[in-house]
Amino acid sequence: MRRLLITLGHKNLNLPKVYIINDIDINMIDALEWLPIPKENPVMRTASVIARYLAGVIFLVFGLNGFLNFIPLPPPGGVAGQFMGALYASHYLWVIFAVQVIAAVLLLTNRYVPLAVAVLAPVIVNILVFHALMAPSGLPLALFVAILWTVIFVDVRPAFAGLFQPRLQARA
């Protein structure tokens, strides 16, 4: 190994020192992971709690409305009506409403909030796309729910830290 490094032009490289420095760097990084986490901003924490409750109530009401129909809504016209008709005929909407109710209960009880956020993400994306492309009248509420979701996500983002790693770390 040393001969290879010398042929590559690293004549003054002292390998034991390099290994010690790398070990110190890794140990320092490991020690930093165990440092106490600084206190959160109380305003952001309050905003997250309010957003969690608002999103929970919205998804609970609209999810239960899909089953109980206590807020009668006229069927949308045009392409949106055809799309909703296909979802209703295939009972696909029941799955969506069930997911909304379950996630809403998780948000309102403050249990498994990262799971609720992860489950609601594709639902919110579909709601946004549906209203942006087929029924623009519901877009303001869809954007409001997306903002609420973002505030909640920012609060629980450490739970998703593993998803945003650029590469997989080798296990020892």
pLDDT digits 0-9 by tens, 44-79 = 899 999 999 999 999 999 999 999 999 998 888 899
Domain ranges across the chain: 2-35, 42-161
Whole-number percent of the chain with pLDDT over 90: 64
Q: What is the pLDDT of residues 109-150, one digit of tens each?
A: 999 999 999 999 999 999 999 999 999 999 999 999 999 999
Query: What does the pLDDT average to over 150-170?
Result: 87
Residues sharing a CB contact under 8 Å with residue 1, sequence separation 6 or more, in sequence order: 15
Torsion angle of C-alpha atoms 8, 9, 14, 17, degrees rounded to 10: -70
In the predicted model, what is the mean pLDDT of the chain?
84
For the entire predicted model, the pTM comes to 0.73
